[in-house]
Every structure is written in C-alpha cells, then in structure tokens.
Amino acid sequence: MTRLIVWRHGNTDWNAANRVQGQTDVPLNELGRDQARAAAPLLAALRPDAIVASDLSRAADTAAALAALTGLSVRTDARLRERHFGQWQGLHLTEVAERFPEEYARWRAGDPDPGVDLEPLHLLGERVGAALQEAADAVAGGTVVIATHGGGSRQGIGHLLGWDPSVLRTIGSLANCHWTELRHDDVRGWQLRAHNVGLATVPAVVDAI
C-alpha cells in the first residue's frame, strides 16, 4: 500500500494578513518556521521514503525541516504551486471584494472559473493531481511527503479521489503545517485516511468520510 502525505506549508505574513498569495513567492515567517520544525518529528516518525515540494520557498522551506531530520533530499516540482490568482495576487481580500465585487462573489459561491485571470479549478486539480500521482508512483508501496499549498492540495487530492467539485467543497481547508493522508492499493484505489492532521490533532484520524 502506498501512502501519500500532503502537507500544507507553514504560516507567512501574507497568511496572517489575509493577503492573496497565489504563486507569489512569499517566505515563511517566524511562526511558520516554528510550525515546520514542530511538525517535522511527527512526519519523520512515518518513515517517509521521499519528500517532494512546491518550488515556492514557503513550501520548500517547510519540507527542509523534515529533510533535516530524515536525511532525505527534497525534490521540487513547479506543478505543486498554489493556484494562480491572476489580478488578485498581492491584494488583501478586503481589496479584492471592493475592486472585483462580481468576481469575488462568484469565487465565494464556488464558481470554478470566476474570471480576472484566476486559474480554473479543473486545471489546478489536473496539474497538482498529476504531480501527486507521479510522486506516489516513484515510491510504490512506500510513503512520500508532499509539501504544498492549501488550495492546490484540495484540488489535487480531489482529482486523485475522483470527487465531484460539490463534494470537494464540503471538505475543510488545511491549516498551516497540517496534512492529509491518502493511501492506495490495487483493489480499492485511492482512499482518504486522515485530514487536517497536525500537532494539536495527533493521534486523531478520519478513517472514513
């Protein structure tokens, strides 16, 4: 059975300020670095065989905290980047709501392609899902930890599980430095085994949903 751990990066100043990051390369802040160092021993205990990360520094540096404990190298993959948020990148959400009220309302309502150059959700799911599948295939029967982003991880996971977008919207977002666990076998395919696991929630898991 192959195990895939999809780990959201630690906190950034833009997270704290509700500023749209998208594919802007925003670094971890002190809290984010502390979160990564605190989570790393829990993930190291899973004895990963590989670590893969988005090439954006907030994810790559989160992965580096785990690499320091395991001795594994980190492979980066640009397909694991966050959703591209087009004209919204760099704006606070209050600014987005003021400048783009119609598109913002559609986005909040779950429109997968609200305009203003936001990456459509089906394309996001396809690119992140392909990177997740490739990383899992490389360690078939083992464990791989993927350090990535909140929105991208949701869509990539949904792509692997084959979930309808309406179902995927019912799953809560990953908190900073929390993770989702998927497992794959040849009979049942991909299964969700745990979601939004982190320092405060271990050993709580979700076995079925």
Supply the residues annotated as catalytic. Answer: 9, 82
How many angstroms from the chain centroid is the CA of residue 76?
A: 14
CA nearest to 115, candidates 126, 104, 130: 104
Exposure of 170 by Cβ count < 10 A (0-12 exposed, 13-18 middle, 19+ buried)? exposed
How many angstroms from the chain centroid is the CA of residue 84?
A: 14
CA nearest to 75, candidates 142, 147, 124, 3: 147
Q: How far apart are CA 37 and CA 31, in angstroms?
A: 10
Q: Give the Cα-Cα-Cα angle 127, 37, 49 (nearest 5 degrees).
A: 55
Q: What are the tokens at 10?
A: 């630690």
